[in-house]
Amino acid sequence: MDISYENIENKKLIEAAHEAKENAYVPYSGFHVGAALLTDNGGFFDGCNIENSSYGATVCAERAAVFAAVARGERHIRKIAVVSDSKRETPPCGICRQVMSEFMAPDAEIILENENGPVVYKLSELLPNSFGAKDMK
């Protein structure tokens, strides 16, 4: 059993994401998603998916959590956990990956979950060669 601080922290974030998932507003898909994140300052924020009858206005759990952090003045997200009720991992959608790349370093962690427990990816693995401010110079 891995009882490293890192591992315990990741499990706690997964738990927090499951709690956030309870508030998902999903009358259209029925697919509940929760996210929980830690910032470089030690801040904690969470979010859930919030759907809309105009489907394109839906916001994913990851973006809800990231925007909650940014709205509180945070700019550097250290790691984020994302969960659903699926036995498989719930990989962040492309838009969420792009939003994460604005506030997360390439080696920041994205913690997903499958039936065997947490699985950790670096942002650069999920969004290689991403577009960013550096590309507008």
- Rounded distance between C-alpha atoms, residue 130 and residue 137, angstroms: 15
Enumerate residues 6+ apart whose C-beta is below 8 A from 120: 10, 109, 110, 111, 112
Residue 134 backbone zone (phi > 0: left; psi -120 to 50: alpha; other: beta): alpha
Min dist. Cβ of residue 23 to ligand THU (A): 12
Is 113 catalytic? The answer is: no
**Token match 């604005």: residue?**
102
Min dist. Cβ of residue 118 to ligand THU (A): 16
Q: Which of 19, 31, 95, 114 binds ligand THU (CB under 6 A)?
A: 31
Run of H or E including 132: none
Site mask for ligand THU (CB under 6 A), range 105-124, x = bound: --------------------
Which residue's CB is nearer to ligand THU, number 38 or number 82?
A: 82
Site mask for ligand THU (CB under 6 A), range 60-89, x = bound: xxx-------------------x-------
> β-strands 104-114, 77-84: how paired?
parallel
Q: Is 90 in the site for ligand THU (CB under 6 A)?
A: yes
Rounded to the nearest 10 degrees, how much is the dihedral formed by the CA atoms of 29, 47, 126, 86?
Answer: -40
Q: What is the CA radius of gyration of the chain?
A: 14
Min dist. Cβ of residue 72 to ligand THU (A): 20
| Catalytic residue ranges | 62
Chain contacts with ligand THU (rule: CB under 6 A): 26, 29, 31, 33, 49, 51, 58, 60-62, 82, 90, 92-93, 96
